Amino acid sequence: MQTEDATSGSGLAPRQIHILMIAVMTGMFLAALDATIVQTAIPTIVGDLGNLTQAPWIAVSYLLTQTISTPIIGKLSDIYGRKRVYQINIALFIASSVFAALSQNMGQLVFFRAVQGLGAGGLNALPMAIVGDVLPPAERARYQGYISGTFMLAALAGPLTGGFFVDHLNWRWVFFVNLPIGTASMIAVQRYLHLERVATRRAIDYLGASALIVATTPLAFTLLWAGEKYGWGATVTLALFAISVVGTLGFVLIELQAEEPILPMTLFSNQVVRTTMLGGFIVGIAIYSMNSYTGVFLQVVDGVSATKSGLFMLPMMIGVTFASICSGRLIAKTGNYKPYPICGVAIMLVASLLLSTMDVHTSRWGVAGRVLIAGLGIGQIGPSLTIIVQNAVDYRDLGVATAGFSFIRSLGGSVGSAVIGAVYAHRVDLLIPRYVGQDNIDRLPDTAALRGRPSTIRGLPEPVRSGVRRAFADAVTGATRVVIPVLVVTLVVFSVIPKVPLKRNFDPQPALE
């Protein structure tokens, strides 16, 4: 290891650490941005490339490969080094972005989005592991706060940025923008991330990687198709779910026997890691609903445009950024992570209760105030949970533990998207006939069309439009109420996470370059 200075155990000066963190957070920003930036561009893309039936796969292919690749890439970074794997991932991400921008049909775009997701899996997980390479646990918290704030900023800025490019340039710039920013990140990481390499060979768990794909891919299809296409009790849904269960059992058995498992099962024998990952999975369900359906409420019920909807969601980003940075600094100063996930979930619980009271009379500023409170809660959870996991594992498992936690949290978000989405869709279908009335129901398009087109709702005649607005308002608040018991369970889980003193020094094992 390099000579330690007063600031860190990596031998990097404060300015070098700051530049390095900006570089890797830029990569994470691009990966998170591309998960949402296409949302506002999809109608234009479909108009240009055609094939409306494949349009959902523009987002799904990206998220699917990203989720699968995250723990695999985390393990590869433990074997071959963070720097090498990060550079390969961002190069793959940039190249696939360019090819996606040049796509001439929908099939090409979906394929390159899937390749892009492979790179994004590393860009999401590796920055947190790189923080672990250059700083001991007690000093990591402030930077983990910055990383969490960056991730939420990207998630909220995506629709706004996509809308800007579509309105003022064209949809292809949604992907071209990654080229200059990603290249700058590559250059900075190449220059400032220098850690000694460990002369060791470790096997790659190809069988475990294959089992992970079998476990997660059918589950992703199940969650995508069950709510909208086939139904939860359909033969296709049950068959895919059964394949996923078998794949999961196979993955666990393989990992128990593997020499170098992708996700070591021994991690779950650690009470700190086991409890934190469980809490991360559950809270991922709640965070999804707060991010997604509040925007629907603003557009449909309050009648604002997609761009203005994004602007009224900015208070959540402000709250997340402020809480992430403050909680990270407090953890670094006190060495005590225990209060922050508990406090964060408690604040999210208050926010969900307030969000569940919204109706057609709730103003856009009333919504903005509620999401600000939600952001103050969410911002305290991300950095603290990552620090807890990293502090509890040996250095050799730092990458795989960090990536494993990201995978578990993403999986929670996927389950949340399916469950909350199904509740929302069911309530819309149930409430529109009730509130519009049988005399007016023939004047409406089908509810699936209404769910996808706020402009169609704004063009409806009265009193039909008022009934539809009321139905959507109650559907959103009904879906939000599902989150309340989820957060109560999360609060209990976080309260039993053991408190372990943060390490003030690096693990004696040197880092991989």
Closest CA to 356 of 300, 293, 304: 293
For the entire predicted model, the pTM comes to 0.71
- Distance between CA 270 and CA 309 in Å, rounded? 43
Pull the structure tokens for residue 47: 């108009």
Whole-number pLDDT of residue 512? 39
- Distance between CA 93 and CA 195 in Å, rounded? 24
Whole-number pLDDT of residue 347? 92
The residues near 43 (Cβ < 8 Å, ≥ 6 apart) are: none
- Distance between CA 258 and CA 203 in Å, rounded? 9
Q: Are 148 and 287 in contact (CB under 8 A)?
A: no
Q: Are 90 and 187 in contact (CB under 8 A)?
A: no
Instruction: Classify the C-alpha dihedral 202-206-208-209 as positive or negative.
Output: positive
- Distance between CA 141 and CA 231 in Å, rounded? 43
CA distances from 333 to 140, 337, 502 (A): 11, 10, 11
Residue in this structure with the two tokens 């009379």, named with its chain if needed: 361
DSSP state for residue 444 in the 8-state scheme: S
- Distance between CA 211 and CA 256 in Å, rounded? 13
* Total residues belonging to the chain: 513
Conformation bin of residue 50: beta by default, left when phi > 0, alpha when psi is -120 to 50: left
SS (HEC) of 188-219: HHHHHCCCCCCCCCCCCCHHHHHHHHHHHHHH
Angle at 393 between CA 392 and CA 399, to 5 degrees: 125
The alpha-helical segments, DSSP class H, found in 356-463 are 364-392, 398-436, 447-452, 454-458
Residue in this structure with the two tokens 């949809």, named with its chain if needed: 171
Amino acid at position 7, single letter: T
Crossing angle, helix 339-355 and helix 314-334, to 10 degrees?
A: 160
Amino acid at position 499, single letter: K
Q: Are 100 and 119 in contact (CB under 8 A)?
A: no
Please give the chain's pLDDT, 513 residues, in tens: 333 333 444 456 667 777 777 777 777 787 777 777 776 676 677 767 766 556 667 777 777 787 778 777 777 777 777 778 888 888 888 899 899 888 888 788 888 888 888 888 888 777 777 776 776 665 666 666 677 667 767 766 776 777 677 767 778 888 888 888 888 877 877 776 665 545 455 666 778 778 888 887 787 777 667 666 677 778 888 888 888 888 889 888 888 887 777 777 777 777 888 888 888 888 777 776 666 677 778 777 877 776 677 677 778 878 887 887 788 778 777 777 788 888 888 998 999 899 888 888 888 888 889 889 988 888 888 777 877 887 777 766 666 777 778 777 777 776 776 677 777 777 877 887 788 776 666 666 555 555 545 666 766 777 777 888 888 888 888 888 888 888 898 888 888 887 777 665 555 443 334
Cα Rg of the chain, angstroms: 23
Pull the structure tokens for residue 500: 């372990």
DSSP state for residue 500 in the 8-state scheme: -
Q: Are 219 and 240 in contact (CB under 8 A)?
A: yes
